[in-house]
Amino acid sequence: MGTIRVRFIIVALVVSFFAVGMAAFLNYFKYKSTISGIVKSRVLVIGRNIENSVQASLQVGLQFMELGTMNQLLAREKASDRLIRGIDVFDHTGQVIYSTDRSRVGEKVPNAWTEAAARAKSTEWSTETPDEHIAGISLKNNFDLTVGYLAMRYSADEVDRAAKIAGREILLASIISFLGIALVAPLALIVVIRRFERDLRALEAAASHLEDRADQPMPAAGSAFDAAIGNLRSSLREANVALDDLRARLDAAG
């Protein structure tokens, strides 16, 4: 197989690898972000229930720091979805005021939580730790002032497990597609570059007979280089004829 043909096939394989790889990458990340979004919005539905209860309490004049039924409400909502590991409510300093896990009350939440809440353009915010995802809602009073933050911690396992399964299947589909291309592309390329290779062969064949002294010009091979080959041969022939003439005159001189 000619080196040029090999190079063309390598190009086809590199480009196919890039395209299939990118498609697999895009599908995998789309799947992951979609499933993360679905799970997060599912958790936020529960968060909205809590938010509505808090706002109803604030509307009747209760103080945010003194919501007596809050811990029971959080426990009830946590129990409504097995995905949720715990629910915390913290103030603007990051100190936990209410929680489904009593030991967390009074502790500080990680800075990333308060930063994510502060950075968010809407009332919803989210952040991640290696083993947990956190979906949050900024709690506002009637005057649209943020009084605290609700954070629902849920396991990353569900998303990770689903992403792993999907990732494996997408990868498998991509490998099969790539292998299919690796088989088909070289064959298709060989068909397409046949004409080019024929031209090159004609050129090479003509070049191997460059020094033939036949007076007849070589028959045209129908290649793109016929004119160039013709020129090459006639130039060489002219030079050889001139040198032959010189030889003849030298010989004639004895």
Partner 1 sequence: MLEKNYLWRIYWRLAGVIMVCVVIALAAVSYFSHRVFDRELVPETEQKAATVGASVRALTLKATSYGIDFSQLYGVEQTFAEVFEENPEFAYMAITNTDGNVLYARGSEPVGARSHFRNPVVLQIAHEPGEVSKAARVGQQYIVSVPINDGGTPLGVLHVGIDAAFVDHVLLEVLLDVVVVLVVSLFFTLELLNFMAGARLASGLGEFARQVDRMRSGDFTATARIRANDEIGRLLRRIDSAIDHLNVRYEFLVGELQDKLRSATGERRESLKPAQQALEQIGKRFRFGSAPEGSDSDEMNLNRIRAPLFAFILAEELTRSYLPSYVNQLLVAIPGVSPQVVIGLPIMLFMLIVALGQPYLGSWSERVGRRKAMLVGAIMATVGFTGTALAYNLYDLILWRSLCALGYAMVFVAAQGYVLDRTGQQNRAQGFALFIGAIMVATVCGPSIGGILADNIGYRASFGVSALMALVSILAINRLPTNEVKTAAQRPTRGPRMREIMALIVNRRFMTLTGLAAMPAKIILTGVCFYLVPLYIVSIGNTSAMAGRMLMVYAVMMVLIVPLSASLSDATMRRDRYVSIGLIISGLSGLLLLLSDSFLVLFGVVFLLGLGQALSIAAQSALVAEHCQEEIRIYGNDAVYGVYRLLERLGNALGPLIASLLVILWGYQGSFVALSALVLFCGIAFTIATHGTEWQGEPAHP
Residues 17-46 that bind partner 1 (CB under 8 A): 18-20, 22-27, 29-31, 33-35, 38-39, 41-42, 45-46
Site for partner 1 in 57-96 (CB under 8 A): 80-81
Q: How far is CA 9 from the centre of its chain?
A: 24
Q: Residue 146 Cβ, how far from partner 1 at the closest point, in Å? A: 19
228 binds partner 1 (CB under 8 A): yes
Helix, strand, or coil (residue 139): strand
Closer Cβ to partner 1, 15 or 65, answer by number: 15
In this structure, is the dihedral angle defined by the CA atoms of residues 218, 219, 220 and 223, taken in order, positive or negative?
negative
Q: x/- binding map, residues 153-172, to partner 1, per CB under 8 A?
A: ---------x--xx--xx-x
Q: What is the spatial distance between Cα 158 and Cα 229, in angstroms, rounded to a whole number? A: 70
Q: Which of 92, 131, 204, 217 binds partner 1 (CB under 8 A)?
A: 204
β partners of residue 140 = 146
If 0-12 CB within 10 Å is exposed, 13-18 middle and 19+ buried, where does residue 87 land? buried
174 binds partner 1 (CB under 8 A): yes
15 binds partner 1 (CB under 8 A): yes
Closer Cβ to partner 1, 64 or 196, answer by number: 196
At position 174, the amino acid (one-letter code) is S
188 binds partner 1 (CB under 8 A): yes
127, 116 contact by CB (below 8 A): yes
